[in-house]
Amino acid sequence: MAEAKIDVSIEHKQAPEPPQKKHPNTCPSCGSHYRDDELAESLRVCTHCGHHFPVKAHERIEQLADGGSFVEEAADLRSADPLGFFDLRAYNERLAEAEIGTGLGDALVIGSAAIEQLPCELAVMDFSFMGGSMGSVTGEKFARACESAAAAQVPLVSVSASGGARMQEGILALMQLPKTVVAVEELHDAGCALISVMAHPTTGGLLASFASLGDVVIAEPGALMSFAGPRVVAQTTREKLPDDFGLAESNLRFGHIDAIVPRPELRSTLARLLRLFGAE
Amino acid sequence: MPRDAEIRLRDRLSKLGGLDLLRGARLSGELDRLQRQLDRIEAEPTDEEIWSKVELARHEDRPYTLDYVERLLEDWFELHGDRGRADDAALVTGLGKLEGRTVALIGHQKGRDIKERTKRNFGMAYPEGYRKAMRVMALADQHGFPLVTLVDTPGAYPGIAAEQHGQGGAIARSQATMARLDVPTVSCIIGEGGSGGAVAIALADTVLMQENAIYSVISPEGCAAILWRDAGEKRKAAAAFKPDATHCLELGVIDGIVPEPAGGAQTSPDEAARLLGAAIGDALEELDDVPRDELRARRRAKFRSMGVLA
């Protein structure tokens, strides 16, 4: 393992530990248990302690966008398997399983929408699709979201939740970092803003690419936002990590994000930003 | 898989073959280079060859950035510090003359002995290193100096302070800075091209890789630990994600392979430097033919197209 110490990458390592043997609707912080409709009603925030549960992409879009305003784009894109990657299982198999499990074609859903009648483009990640990992399709969809926003001259709102680059696509996954970065540069040159919302977790390649390049960067409370995962850092430095290591609260203190916005206020906050950045 | 890279190369070869009267010697050099690349693509490396490249890329006698600097650049002047809070010795920056013209150089730097390795943090930069790099990129842009970057890092440093100082954001902004430059940019992976810490300084017009360098999304050990749950399966991991130059060229990630002396760059640093200098010189000369106002759009279009879709 000695050599593994110098591994800084990312990728799934810092995936949130699943609440061990706990029901997914049981709050990992305070143990409160909710029926699914209760959680959906509370935007998947624990009404007892404020813990933010993960939100799947389409539910997030429902939470944020005006009813019926979302028009999905590029939903038909699917990953290829350029390396013929096989670890303990074939990448193709993992992809098929992820699609069946989530009903999604990849870890990112994009499309045009309106928030409080203000038009925008949305790019929302889904952690349940292979840990929200970024592969060729994820990068391509993000780039297309930038292009749609630029063409419509509206801001792009991204909501990230990802462990980082998708190892099964090897170097091509790493190349999605510069790909999404140049897409943001083009978006900016077209005069449009990127509002980046980081949900738990936004780590590795996501933090090292578009998610950090928002004109405004917002995080959800308690979101892990670190380049290297806590376990890798602990192994490398052999130091005890601060309790708030890599969390949104620490990132705010160190000046890396503009605000922490609790989920119930996210929609109105985004609307305010859309008004500020809007053309009118 | 379909060999798109091979088809593109054959295409370029046939076009160049018909043009050799136009540009003379330089063009025939280009032809040779493409022919060599074609030969390499046709000889797909085996799993053992891939692992031997991983070992060569990490060889302790392999030339590092400053070994090339002293052999290739005249009037070298190192630029220190990020103008904020520190000077990161894991990433060196400076100005020098390459084939008679001033270039800005940015490169990761590893160390040879314990003391030097500690000082250089094994080539793993902090955000301060990437901020220094961004400062020098802006300087190059301001003065119209071509930018050359040499990539040789296991990855950006995964430490507490590095995270607190904004490692992810620094890597993202370093790439964004390169995407904005109006000067010609050439990057070469000269050893380990480890993940975000590598690509942070490799968003270049022309990206080259030395024959025995590796470029990857994660280290073989890291990949093995996660996907095989056993870091000892590093050979299997490397064979699966194919970090070698041939595969990177085939996947369209790099633009060319720089040959090394037989047995690897460590066998003759002088010869390795000569070959590297020639490749970078050629790349810069090719970029001279691209109008400055097209460079940036071309660079962005190249990275925009990366990836393979079903």
**Pair B35, B67 in one domain:** no
User: Nearest residue on chain A to B198, judged by CA atoms?
Assistant: A174
Q: Does some domain include residue B25?
A: yes
Entry pTM: 0.89
What is the model's pLDDT at position B229? Answer: 84
A residues 174-203 lying closer than 8 A (beta carbon) to B = 174-179, 181-186, 203
pLDDT digits (tens, 9 = 90+) for A92-135: 999 999 999 999 999 999 999 999 999 999 999 999 999 999 99
* Residues counted in chain A: 280
What is the model's pLDDT at position B2? Answer: 43
Mean pLDDT on B281-285: 96
Report yes or no: A231 at the B interface, CB cutoff 8 Å. no
Distance from CA of A126 to the nearest CA of B (A): 19
d(CA B264, CA B245): 13
Asked whether the predicted pLDDT for residue B26 surpasses 50, the reply is no
pLDDT digits (tens, 9 = 90+) for B51-72: 999 999 999 999 999 999 999 9
**Pair B15, B96 in one domain:** no
Q: B62: domain CATH number?
A: 3.90.226.10
Mean pLDDT on B183-207: 97
**Pair B195, B113 in one domain:** yes
Extents of the domains making up chain A: 2-14+54-277
Asked whether the predicted pLDDT for residue B73 surpasses 70, the reply is yes
Residues 6+ apart with CB under 8 A from B302: B205
Asked whether the predicted pLDDT for residue B284 surpasses 70, the reply is yes
Nearest to A175 among B227, B307, B310 (CB): B307
Between chains, do A8 and B247 touch, taking CB under 8 Å as contact? no
**Pair B125, B2 in one domain:** no
In 10 A of CB B144, how many CB atoms? 11
DSSP B107: E
**Pair B35, B121 in one domain:** no
Q: Does some domain include residue B310?
A: no
Nearest to B160 among A87, A186, A241 (CB): A241
Q: Does some domain include residue B198?
A: yes
Asked whether the predicted pLDDT for residue A6 surpasses 70, the reply is no
Between chains, do A10 and B195 touch, taking CB under 8 Å as contact? yes
Distance from CA of B132 to the nearest CA of A (A): 17
**Pair B154, B27 in one domain:** no
What is the model's pLDDT at position A2? Answer: 45
Number of domains in chain B: 2
**Pair B33, B72 in one domain:** no
What is the model's pLDDT at position B232? Answer: 84
Residues 6+ apart with CB under 8 A from B176: A181, A184, A185, A213
Mean pLDDT on B204-208: 98
Residues 6+ apart with CB under 8 A from B89: B109, B119, B120, B121
d(CA B151, CA B174): 14
**Pair B12, B150 in one domain:** no
> Contacts of residue B168 in chain A, CB cutoff 8 Å?
203-204, 207-208, 211-212, 225-227
Domain holding B60, by residue range, is: 47-304
**Pair B15, B57 in one domain:** no
Mean pLDDT on B123-140: 98
- Quick one: pLDDT band at residue B9, thresholds 50, 70, 90? low
Asked whether the predicted pLDDT for residue A10 surpasses 80, the reply is no
d(CA A137, CA B150): 29
> Contacts of residue B222 in chain A, CB cutoff 8 Å?
4, 7, 9, 11, 13
Kind of pairing between the strands at B256-258 and B214-216: unpaired
Q: Does some domain include residue B155?
A: yes
Between chains, do A174 and B195 touch, taking CB under 8 Å as contact? yes
What is the model's pLDDT at position B24? Answer: 40
Specify the CATH architecture of the domain A2-14+54-277: Alpha-Beta Complex (3.90)
CA-based end-to-end distance of chain B: 12
